[in-house]
């Protein structure tokens, strides 16, 4: 047996057999290491990894960064100008653009008005129309004033032009100030608020989140158990035209109900001096007894509730009043409206009470205006056609912004949590949402059809919500990686330690053999 010492390379370094054995050992260690690193680690990683679908991060970022630049509102306004008025469309247009960029510098290329001459075949219910009318001087002393008349029943407005401004470019000035400061004032203010990420003026937490479908629920809450006949069916027919106008904006399904034995959570005190029960303003927040009254709707779509409350004291001809509110109606933010009903004539004790159409119609008008508030319609101009148009444009922007915000948050979440799985379904919803956004933008660019674009944007919002709240993803949000390591420790621990020691030894061997080589040389 040759004198060999494992640790001491210097003794056997010249023995050729020992050298080959040592090389073979080194090669073995090297191969095993290679196997573990090159094959074992990927297999371990692959079999224990969490599925993370690839999200189109760049696209989302690009969209949310350049959303404003991608939206182009171009609102055509048709002009009807008699030849007596001195006016040039190109000048007026440039004036308008100037005035707009002065008032809202951020709106360049985002929101523009397109002035078009000739309004003969244009339906003023569909498109914006401005009619000019020349008012000649009637007498020497009295010169007529310029005036504006905005129709409450269509998208038409009338400008009365006098001699005082019927010269040079003054008519164009007048037109641009009317458009920017009156007709589109609220819309512009709201749009700029949305762009800046602030709450719009009409909002103040009153407006319900947008949905393509709403449930309208009209409820009659009766304080006691005496049956009441209410002719709601006819009154709802009065309501229908308003909903028809809103049909571009959203669909509404109507249901009505009567609920008896609906007591308030707090008893009212009778005010002798006014001969009535007085409801304090501070009590309005707790007026609706959510726990007891049947107000739940088992439906995916949001509900807007309108309540007519019929107090028992109607039988004693004692009315209910709300302190400081004359209309006896109030709005509940993001929820609905309430009207407290006082019967005009005293009720005979044995007769059955009925709420007839003539009594219900004024209430329905109150509810209609409350509905406009809850949907976030601008308060000016009066014409519902203009308001709904503006609302569509504002909602479109809101929806697009909100859905992109959702997608951005999703990306952020997945980037910050490495352990969260991203199921294929999330990716699908994200892609769908993006395609809806793209389609909405295309619709807007090609045909300026903001109603259709808004419907698409609502779909985008719905899909982005679905992507963010995907069940599987949220479920596994907290699957810790320590568990994985703990379970496999009996394998990883010993194998790892054996390999490390072998590697250390190999390195030491190499070192000492190099030293001895140097010595011998």
Residue 482 sits in the site that holds other proteins (CB under 8 A): no
The tokens describing 358, both together, are 């003539």
Residues 196-235 vs other proteins: string with x where CB under 8 A?
-----------------x---x------xxxx----xx--
User: Minimum Å distance from CB 467 to other proteins?
Assistant: 21
- Establish if 258 lies at the interface with other proteins (CB under 8 A): yes
Dihedral of CA atoms 147, 150, 155, 159 in degrees, nearest 10, equals 0
Question: In terms of CB distance, is 170 or 254 closer to other proteins?
Answer: 254
- Residue numbers 272-301 binding other proteins by CB under 8 A: 292, 294, 296-299, 301
**Least distance from C-beta 419 to other proteins, angstroms?**
20
105 vs 110: CA distance, rounded Å: 10
Tell me the C-alpha distance between 289 and 291, whole Å.
Answer: 6
Binding residues with other proteins: total (CB under 8 A): 51
Q: State the nearest-atom distance from the C-beta of 170 to other proteins, in Å.
A: 53
Q: Which two tokens mark 479? A: 């699957």
What's the closest the beta carbon of residue 519 comes to other proteins, in angstroms?
A: 17
Instruction: Determine if 158 is a binding residue for other proteins (CB under 8 A).
Output: no
For other proteins, the closer of residues 149 and 316 by Cβ is 316
CA distance 197 to 64: 13
What count of other Cβ atoms lies within 10 Å of the Cβ of residue 279? 22
Residue with tokens 């047996």: 1
CA angle 408, 412, 418 (to 5 degrees): 145
Region from 136-144, 339-347, 470-478, 486-494 binding other proteins, contact rule CB under 8 A: 486-494
Please give, one letter per residue, the 3-state secondary structure of 166-221: CCCCHHHHHHHHHHHHHHCHHHHHHHHHHHCCCCCCCCCCCCCCCCCEEEEEEEEE
Which residue, 259 or 448, has its beta carbon nearer to other proteins? 259
The C-alpha atoms of residue 502 and residue 506 are separated, in whole angstroms, by 6
**d(C-alpha 183, C-alpha 133), whole Å:** 18
The distance of closest approach from Cβ of residue 390 to other proteins in the complex, given in angstroms and rounded to an integer, is 26
429 phi and psi angles, rounded to 5 deg: -65, -40
Scanning 20-28, 362-370, 394-402, 436-444 for contacts with other proteins by CB under 8 A, the matching segment is: 20-28
Compute the least distance from the CB of residue 224 to other proteins, in Å: 8
From 417, 495, 507, 508, residue interacting with other proteins (rule: CB under 8 A)? 495
The only residue of 38, 82, 275, 494 in contact with other proteins, by rule CB under 8 A: 494
Closer to other proteins by Cβ: residue 153 or 511: 511
Closer residue to other proteins, CB minimum distance, 54 or 233: 233
Instruction: Tell which residue, 332, 296, 302, has the closest CA to residue 215.
Output: 302
- Give the DSSP per-residue string, 326-392: SSSEEEETTTEEEEE---SSPPPSSSPEEE-HHHHHHHHHHHHHHHHHHHT--S-SS-HHHHHHHHH
Of residues 427 through 466, those in contact with other proteins by CB under 8 A are: none
Q: What are phi and psi of 228, to 5 degrees?
A: -130, 135
Residue corresponding to tokens 């109607």: 314
Measured from the CB of residue 487, what is the shortest distance to other proteins in angstroms?
5
Binds other proteins by CB under 8 A, chosen from 254, 278, 284, 425: 254
CA distances from 512 to 11, 13, 157, 172 (A): 11, 10, 98, 95
| Min separation Cβ 426 and other proteins, Å | 22
Query: Is residue 52 at the binding interface for other proteins, with CB under 8 A as the rule?
Result: no
Q: How far is the CB of 158 from other proteins (least distance, A)?
A: 38
The DSSP code for 422 is B
**In the range 340-369, which residues lie near other proteins by CB under 8 A?**
352
For other proteins, which residue of 34, 356, 474, 491 counts as binding (CB under 8 A)? 491
Q: Which residues bind other proteins (CB under 8 A)?
A: 1, 3-8, 21, 25, 28-29, 32, 213, 217, 224-227, 232-233, 236, 251, 253-261, 292, 294, 296-299, 301, 352, 487-495, 498-499, 502
């Amino acid at each position: 047996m040759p004198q060999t010492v494992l640790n001491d390379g210097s003794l056997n370094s010249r023995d050729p057999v020992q050298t080959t054995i040592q090389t073979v050992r080194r090669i073995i260690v090297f191969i095993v290491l290679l196997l573990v690193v090159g094959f074992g680690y990927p297999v371990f990683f692959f079999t224990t990894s969490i599925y993370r679908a690839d999200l189109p991060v760049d696209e989302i970022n690009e969209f949310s960064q350049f959303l404003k630049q991608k939206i182009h509102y171009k609102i055509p306004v048709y002009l009807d100008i008699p030849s007596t008025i001195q006016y040039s469309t190109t000048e007026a247009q440039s004036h308008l653009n100037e005035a707009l960029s002065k008032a809202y510098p951020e709106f360049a290329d985002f929101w523009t008005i397109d002035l078009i001459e000739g309004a003969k075949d244009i339906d003023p219910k569909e498109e914006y129309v401005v009619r000019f009318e020349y008012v000649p001087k009637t007498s020497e002393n009295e010169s007529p004033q310029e005036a504006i008349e905005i129709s409450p029943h269509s998208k038409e407005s009338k400008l009365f032009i006098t001699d005082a401004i019927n010269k040079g470019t003054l008519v164009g000035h007048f037109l641009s100030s009317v458009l920017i400061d009156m007709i589109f004032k609220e819309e512009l203010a709201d749009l700029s608020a949305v762009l800046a990420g602030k709450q719009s003026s009409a909002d103040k937490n009153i407006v319900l989140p947008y949905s393509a479908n709403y449930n309208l629920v009209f409820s009659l809450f009766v304080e006691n158990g005496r049956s009441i006949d209410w002719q709601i069916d006819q009154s709802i027919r009065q309501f229908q035209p308003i909903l028809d106008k809103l049909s571009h904006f959203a669909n509404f399904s109507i249901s009505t109900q009567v609920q008896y034995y609906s007591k308030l959570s707090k008893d009212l005190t009778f005010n002798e001096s006014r001969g009535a029960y007085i409801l304090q303003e501070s009590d309005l927040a707790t007026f609706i007894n959510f726990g007891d009254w049947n107000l739940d709707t088992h439906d995916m779509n949001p509900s807007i509730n309108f309540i007519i409350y019929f107090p028992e004291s109607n039988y004693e001809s004692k009315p209910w009043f709300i302190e400081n509110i004359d209309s006896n109606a109030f709005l509940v933010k993001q929820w609905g409206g309430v009207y407290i009903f006082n019967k005009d004539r005293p009720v005979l004790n044995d007769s059955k009470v009925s709420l007839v159409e003539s009594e219900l119609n004024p209430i329905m008008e109150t509810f209609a205006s409350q509905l406009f508030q809850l949907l976030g319609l601008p308060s000016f101009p009066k014409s519902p056609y203009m308001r709904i148009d503006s609302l569509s444009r504002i909602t479109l922007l809101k929806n697009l912004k909100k859905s992109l915000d959702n997608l951005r948050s999703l990306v952020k979440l997945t980037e910050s949590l490495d352990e969260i799985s991203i199921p294929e379904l999330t990716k699908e919803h994200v892609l769908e949402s993006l395609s809806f956004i793209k389609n909405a933008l295309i619709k807007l660019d090609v045909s300026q059809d903001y109603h259709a674009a808004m419907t698409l944007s609502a779909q985008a919002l719905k899909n982005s919500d679905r992507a963010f709240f995907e069940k599987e993803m949220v479920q596994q949000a907290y699957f810790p990686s320590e568990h994985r390591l703990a379970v496999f420790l009996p394998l990883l621990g010993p194998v790892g330690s054996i390999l490390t020691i072998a590697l250390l030894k190999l390195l030491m061997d190499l070192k000492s053999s190099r030293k001895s080589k140097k010595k011998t040389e």
